[in-house]
Amino acid sequence: MPLLDLPPEVFQRIISEYVTEEGVSESWKRKVVCKTFSVFIEEEVLGRQSPQAFIRGAEKSILNRHIDRYLVHRYMALYGAPDLLPALMRSSVDIFMEITGSTSNDQRLQFATEIAKALTTHCKSLNYLATKAKPKRIAEFAQDKKEANALGVAIAMQDKHLICLVLGRNPCIWSRTHTFGHPLELVLRIGNKDIVWIMLYFAETNPLSNSAKDITQALSVSIRLALETRGFEIAISLLRWHFRHIGRPFKNYGGYWLRWAIESGAMDFIKQLLEFGFPDGYEEYYQRTFIRIPWYTTGANPTELLRLLFRKKLVDVAMGGR
């Protein structure tokens, strides 16, 4: 009987034995034989081989090139303990299916495929998490709330409709997840301004669920990234949000923001920061911050910058003329 005429389960067993005998790299080369070989070998290699099989050499290269397919195959696996990323995918798919009212398996697979592509692009240390994550690391990831992970996934997918639906479940947008970091930071890394405004609108209309310090820390990460990428309008919006809802920043954060803004040449941000003022006794700290910055080599306009700082008594004539 020709090999391809065998029942699928028998053919699959033969492919399994072949991959075990020849190894991942050699077996992968046989995908070109025909479409049937390609399908069965891909499923056996990406879906059933131990993650440790992809740690080095040609096998690692195969994983790097096809890690989105690897994640989809692992997501669909019905045997063994769930791996870290496939487990995250399953929980996010479950939430997406629920909030969209979808029930079909085709839609479930579509979500899984899109999530895998998003993870491939935006998840830090993806290869490590897919193949070498230790039990302690897995336990840390397991502490993240499912809604927070789903929000990070929806942002990584850049699906504004899904983001709005997930936000309807009131996830905390100020808490970081181990997979994506702070949600606003992820949005800024992606560079999608529409999603930034969606997140800020949600923040305006929902009560604060974290401490002021945690929120300031999350905003500080986002402000720095916005300034570094010259998203000055976004940085100013984040600054204004902080002053409306939290108030003046803790001393060190205000100094950081001033330094980052000067280094980026964000004059409008500097004006806004100084107009909000600072608590009594902070002048000396801000002065020290300014002195340590080689402001004359930054993108800031030296004349305008000094005029602003003179007006706020953060520098004197001697400092300005150094």
- Per-residue pLDDT tens for 79-102? 444 578 888 899 999 999 999 999
- Asked if 206 contacts 170 with a C-beta cutoff of 8 angstroms, the reply is yes
**CA pair distance 245, 301, nearest whole angstrom:** 31
For the record, the structure tokens of 75 come out as 């997501």
* pTM for this entry: 0.78
pLDDT tens for the chain, 322 residues long, are: 455 555 666 767 777 887 888 888 888 887 777 677 788 888 888 888 888 888 888 888 888 888 888 888 888 875 444 578 888 899 999 999 999 999 999 999 999 999 999 998 888 778 888 888 788 888 888 888 999 999 999 999 999 999 999 999 988 888 888 888 889 999 999 988 899 999 988 988 876 667 888 888 889 999 999 999 889 999 999 999 998 888 877 767 877 888 888 888 888 998 888 888 765 555 666 666 665 666 555 666 666 766 666 666 665 533 444 4
pLDDT, residue 51, reads 81
pLDDT, residue 85, reads 86
Give the count of beta carbons closer than 10 Å to the beta carbon of residue 292: 10
- Asked if 63 contacts 29 with a C-beta cutoff of 8 angstroms, the reply is no
Average confidence score pLDDT of the chain: 81
pLDDT, residue 149, reads 93
**CA pair distance 150, 171, nearest whole angstrom:** 9
**CA pair distance 115, 154, nearest whole angstrom:** 8
Q: How far is CA 52 from CA 18, 46, 59, 105, 132, in A?
A: 18, 12, 10, 30, 7
Q: At what angle do helices 283-291 and 251-264 cross, to 10 degrees?
A: 30
Strand-pairing partners, residue 181, are 177
**CA pair distance 147, 170, nearest whole angstrom:** 8
pLDDT, residue 283, reads 60
pLDDT, residue 79, reads 47
Letter string b/e over residues 193-221, b meaning 16 or more CB atoms within 10 A of that residue's CB: eebbebbbebbeeeeeeeeeeebbbbbbb
Residue type present at position 237: S
